[in-house]
Amino acid sequence: MLLLNTSPIPPQRNAFNIIKYASFSNPQQPSFFLLSFSSCFYLFFPLCLIDDDNEFKVNWKRVAVTSMFGFGFVGPVGHFWYEGLDKFIKMRLLLRPKSARFVAAKVAMDGLIFGPFDLFVFFTYMGFSAGKSTAQVKEDVKRDFLPALILEGGVWPIVQVANFRYVPVRYQLLYVNIFCLLDSAFLSWIEQQKDAPWKQRFTSFTSMKEGGGQGRL
C-alpha cells in the first residue's frame, strides 16, 4: 500500500527537495508514479491547430493521446532505462562516475539505443491511435523517423551531457522531461508536416542508398 510521506520539507526549498518530499513512501527517491506523471505532464504541452479563421485551438484529443504515451511509455521505460544504464556503465564497463568517459559512454548509448527506440515507438503509437492501418503507419514511420532522428541528434547529446554529469540518477528522468516540453511539440510538428518538401531530402537520400545497394547485387 502506498503511503504519503508527511515529513516536513527541509528549509532548503529547492526543486529537488520539493520533489523528493512530495513523493511516495521513500523520501530518497521519486516514486514510480511521480516519474510517470511528470512524463505525462510534459506531453500535456498544448498542441495547437489553426482553424479556418486562423485562430489557434488546442486539439484536446491529441493532447490526451500524447499524454498517455508519456504516462504509459516514457515514464516507466525511462525510469528503468536511466537506472539500468547507470548500473551497466559502472559494473560492466567499470568507468568512474562523472568522469569524461563515463558521461561520454552514457550519452552514446542513450543516443544510439533509447533515442531511436523512443522515436520509433512514438510515431508508431501516434499512427495507430489516429486509426491508421499498419501499412499507413509503416509509411509514416519511414517518412518521419529519419528526419526526427537527425535533427534531434544535434540537440539531445548536449542536454544529456549536463544530465549525466551533474544530475543524480534518481532525478535524470525529471530533468529530461523539462526539455521534452519542446521535444513533444517538435515531434508533433514533424508528424503534422506530412510530405513536406524538406522531408523529401531525407527520403530521397535513403532511396538512393537502397537503389545503389540493389545495383551492386
pTM tops 0.85, yes or no: no
* Cβ contact 119:146 at 8 Å: no
* Cβ contact 163:172 at 8 Å: yes
Joined grid coordinates for residue 206: 535513403
Identify the bridge partners of residue 57 per DSSP, sorted by sequence position. Answer: 49
Helix, strand, coil share of the chain (percent; to 5): 70, 5, 25
Q: How does 136-156 read in b/e, with b if 16+ C-beta sit within 10 Å?
A: ebeebbebbbbbbeeebeeeb
Joined grid coordinates for residue 60: 484536446
* pLDDT tens readout for residues 74-110: 888 998 999 999 999 999 999 999 999 999 999 999 9
Stretch (H or E) spanning 55: none
Instruction: Give pLDDT, residue 19.
Output: 40
Smallest CA-to-CA distance from 164 within 71, 101, 70 is with 101
The residue written with cell numbers 538512393 in the block is 208
* pLDDT tens readout for residues 179-189: 877 777 777 77
* pLDDT tens readout for residues 109-135: 999 999 999 999 999 998 999 899 999
* pLDDT tens readout for residues 52-71: 455 556 677 777 787 788 88
